[in-house]
Amino acid sequence: MQFLQSPPRFLFFTGKGGVGKTSIACATSIALAAAGKRVLLVSTDPASNVGQVFGISIGNHITVITAVPNLSALEIDPQAAAKAYRDRIVGPVRGILPEAIVKGIEEQLSGACTTEIAAFDEFTALLIDSSLTQEFDHIVFDTAPTGHTIRMLQLPGAWSGFLEDGKGDASCLGPLAGLEKQRTQYKAAVDALADPQKTRLVLVARAQTATLNEAVRTHSELAGIGLTQQYLVINGVFPASETLHDEWAQAIFQREQAVLHNLPTALQGLPTDLIGLKAFNLVGLAALQQLLVEADATPNKPCDAPHIHAPSLASLVDDMVADGHGLVMLMGKGGVGKTTLAAAVAVELATRGFPVHLSTSDPAAHVMETLNSTLENLTVSRIDPHEVTKQYRAQVLSDKGAQLDAAGRAVLEEDLLSPCTEEIAVFQAFSKVIREACTKFVVMDTAPTGHTLLLLDATGAYHRDIVRQTGEKGHFTTPMMQLQDPKQTKVLIVTLAETTPVLEAANLQADLRRAGIEPWAWVINNSVAAAAVTSPLLKQRAKNELRDIEAVATHHAHRYALVPLLKEEPVGVQRLKDLSNQGV
C-alpha cells in the first residue's frame, strides 16, 4: 500500500460516510503497531466501532489496547464535544438574556460547523508537542476536519469582538465565539497539518461517482490551504473473480471499472491504492488484520442467500395518493441514491395519472432529460446549487457586508463557504416550488437538514415576520409550517443496508424531529439481500445486511421500503418504473 510507505507522524483518513475510512484507519494502526511503532488511534467518527473491534471500552481517554502490542486508542465523541463547547458559550448568558435569544444562540451552535470545530478543539492538543502524545511514533486520525473548518481557524481578526458587535448572525459564525483564547494553540496545530513532513492526508472513496466527487472537493479544499501531502484509497473494489455466472456481479464490476477508468482529473495525480471488497463485516481484530492484505475475497464457507420479504417503493406510493396532491421530500446523505428514488417516485405518481413536479438539485441532468421527453403529467425543474448559492452569497455580502471592516468581511465571506450556506440557498429556491403542492404532487430532492430548517426558522425571521404581521389568529402558511404538517408533507429518508449509513440516517431523523418534522417512511436502497444473487461474496454480503434491515424495520421507521440492487442503471422512465415495482 503506497499510503503506508514511509508514513509521517500524523495520518488523517477522511471521506463520505460508509466508504470504510474507520476500518482502514484501524487496519493501518494495527499494521504500524505490528511493525514495532508506538501508535495512537484517534477516532472522531460518530459511528466509531473502535471499542467493539478490540472488545474493550475506550471513550475519551487514551486506552492501551492489550490485544495489539504498541497500540493505544482514544475516542472523541463529537456530539459530547459540541455540547461542552456550546455550554461554555451559552452558560454565561443563560438567565441574563431572554430565553428566546438563548434558544436562538443554541440553535446557531447546533450544526455541523460547531461539531467540527468542537472536535478540532478536542484533538488540537494531539497535533502539537505535548506530554500527552510524546511517547507515540504515529497518531492516526479518523476523521479529518474539513477545509472549511481549518480556514475558519486561520482567519485573522478578533472574532469575539466581531460577534459582540452584532455583525455575526449567519449560519456558522456562532461557533467562532469561543475560539479567541486558543488561537496560539490552533495556529500550531494548523501549521502541523500543513507540514508534509509531519502529516499525510488519505482520501477514502469507493468506485462510485458520488464518493469520488466528494474526494475531489476535499482534495481541492485542503490543497488550497496547504495540506498537499495527499493519497487516495479506493475501497471495496469488486473482484473480477466473482463475476462468473452472476449477472449482478458482472453489472457491479462493469460499473466500477467504468468509474475507475474515468477517474476525476483532480485525483489522477495522487498516489492511489485499491482495496478489494471483502465478504466479511469489518468488525473484530481478525477481520481488520485481513483488510489491507490482498487475498481471495470469496468466503471460505459459502452461505445461502437470504430470502427476505419487504414492501416495495410502489407500496409506499399506494399510501401517498389518498389526497391526490402533496409534498414528497427525499432526504439522506450523498451517495445513497435519493435522486434516483425521487425520480422513481415521481414516475410512479405520474403514471397513475397525477400531475407531478419533480424538482432536483442534483447535477445528473440526463435523468431529467429522459423524463422531460417521455412522460405525460410530469414536469421537471433543476435548481443549480452553484448558481443559487452564488446569488445568495452575493446578496448576503451586499446586505450584511457593506458596513463591515476588512476583518469582519473576511469572517462573513468564510462563513458563506459553509455547506450550510448551500443548503439555505437551495431551500430558498425550493420554497418557490413548495406552494405548488396544494394542487399537485411535488417531489423534492435534495432536502436540507433539520439544523438548516431550524436555523431558517429561528434566525431567518420569515416565519416570525408573518406572525407579527398577521397576528396569532391570522391565516397563513409558511414553508416551515408546511414541512411540519404531516398531511401536507411526507419525508422519505433514504439509506443503505450498512451500519454507518443507517446510523447517519438515524441522526438525520433525530435532527428533523428537533425541527418538528416527523419522517413518514424510510427507503433502503441498493439492497443485495433483495436481489437474486449467486456470487458467494454477494450472498455473504446479503446475509450481512439483515441486521441493518431489521434495525430499520423494527426500530427506526414507521414504515419502510426495500429497493434491490439493480443490474442496470435506473435511467429512463421504464427502468425507474421497474425500480418502484420490484417486489421482495
Q: Catalytic pick from 21, 167, 278, 333? A: 21
Q: Which of 14, 16, 17, 20 is catalytic?
A: 20
Q: Is 511 one of the catalytic residues?
A: no
Furthest C-alpha separation in the chain: 72
Q: Which three cell numbers stand for residue 56?
A: 474493550
Residue 94: Cβ within 10 Å count = 12
* 16 DSSP 8-state letter: S
Residue whose C-alpha cell is 452553484: 386
Q: Is 326 a catalytic residue?
A: no
Spatial separation of the C-alpha atoms in residues 448 and 463, rounded to whole Å: 17
One-letter identity of residue 229:
Q
Nearest to 425 by CA among 385, 455, 396: 385
Is residue 111 part of the annotated active site? The answer reads no
Sign of CA dihedral 295, 15, 388, 440: positive
121 assigned to active site: no
- Burial (Cβ within 10 Å: 0-12, 13-18, ≥19) of residue 487: exposed
Which residue out of 44, 110, 339, 500 is catalytically annotated? 500
C-alpha distances out from residue 421 to 69, 393, 396, 449, Å:
46, 8, 10, 12
Secondary element (H or E) of residue 113: helix 112-127
* Whole-angstrom distance, CA of residue 534 vs CA of residue 536: 6
Cell of 205: 472513496
C-alpha cell at position 166: 452584532
> Cα dihedral sign for 55, 57, 59, 63?
negative
Closest residue by Cα to residue 518 from 492, 548, 550:
492
* Half-sphere CA count of 323, side-chain side, radius 13 A: 16
Q: Beta strands 71-75 and 63-64: pairing type?
A: antiparallel
> Cα(58)–Cα(60) distance, rounded to whole angstroms?
7
Distance CA 482, CA 428 (A): 14
Strand 378-382: give its sheet, edge to edge.
Answer: 378-382, 356-360, 441-445, 326-331, 489-496, 521-527, 560-564
Integer Cα distance of 37 and 34 in angstroms = 7
Cβ within 8 Å of residue 211, ≥6 positions away: 15, 16, 19, 205, 335
Which listed residue (45, 445, 457, 511) is catalytic?
45
| Catalytic position from the list 23, 63, 110, 499 | 23
Q: Using an 8 Å Cβ cutoff, are 525 and 496 in contact?
A: yes
Whether 408 sits among the annotated catalytic residues: the reply is no
CA-wise closest residue to 111 among 144, 156, 148: 148
* Angstrom distances, CA of residue 29 to CA of 34, 77, 127, 333: 9, 19, 17, 28
* Distance (Å, whole) CA 179 – CA 182: 6
Q: Which of 15, 16, 17, 22 is catalytic?
A: 22
Known catalytic residue: 20? Answer: yes
Q: Confirm whether 332 is a catalytic residue.
A: no
Catalytic residue from among 14, 15, 16, 18: 18
Exposed e or buried b per residue across 423-446, where buried means at least 16 C-beta atoms within 10 angstroms of its C-beta: bbbbbbbbbebbebbeebbbbbbb
Distance in angstroms between the alpha carbons of the first and the last residue of the chain: 40
Tell me the β-bridge partners of 319.
Answer: none
**Residues labelled catalytic:** 18, 20-23, 45, 500
